[in-house]
Amino acid sequence: MVDILHQVGVAGAAPKEVYDALTTLDGLAGWWTVDTAGETSPGGVIEFRFGPGGMDMRVDELDEGRLVRWTVVDGPEEWIGTTIRWELCEEPDWGTLVMFWHEGWREPVPFMHHCSTKWATYLISLKQLVETGAGAPDPNDLKIVNWN
């Protein structure tokens, strides 16, 4: 099993502001993909759709202002059964540190390389959304290869 790890800091924001961007349809649509629908409460399934495809995430655990955990229940074969974890931590006099894990990949396939770099661009989009009010969700995300 191999994992994708990332981190960004969000300046001038409390953990609750980042948490809202991870736990509401409007928030998620503001940094990941504009085509976001579904149910964001625990046990619900959120449907994220992108140009090249999409995935459904079950919300496993929410701890307000601290933690968000999802399991991928549909989407690319390599993603199904993997888990996404977000941990938020207040950085005094500065903002919020966002720690990220996409865990449980079976093999370090080329698609994992792609998703790792794309996740970084989306975390930066999340940072920009909370800091400035405008993120770069799909279809206006940063394309890193010819198909995505």
Binding site for a second copy (CB under 8 A): 2-9, 11, 91, 94-95, 97, 99-100, 108, 110, 112-114, 116-117, 120-121, 123-124, 127, 142, 144-146
CB of 145 to a second copy, least distance (A): 4
CB of 96 to a second copy, least distance (A): 10
CB of 7 or CB of 24, closer to a second copy: 7
CB of 81 or CB of 108, closer to a second copy: 108
CB of 2 or CB of 134, closer to a second copy: 2
Q: Could you give the CA distance from residue 63 to residue 54 in angstroms, rounded to a whole number?
A: 26
CB of 101 to a second copy, least distance (A): 8
Length of the chain as a residue count: 148
CB of 35 or CB of 90, closer to a second copy: 90
DSSP per-residue string spanning 71-116: EEEESSTTTTT-EEEEEEEEETTTEEEEEEEEEEESS--HHHHHHH
Q: Give the Cβ contact number of residue 1 at 10 Å.
A: 9
The position carrying tokens 């919020």 is: 96
CB of 59 to a second copy, least distance (A): 22
- Taking alpha carbons only, the member of 135, 143, 141, 140 closest to residue 30 is 135
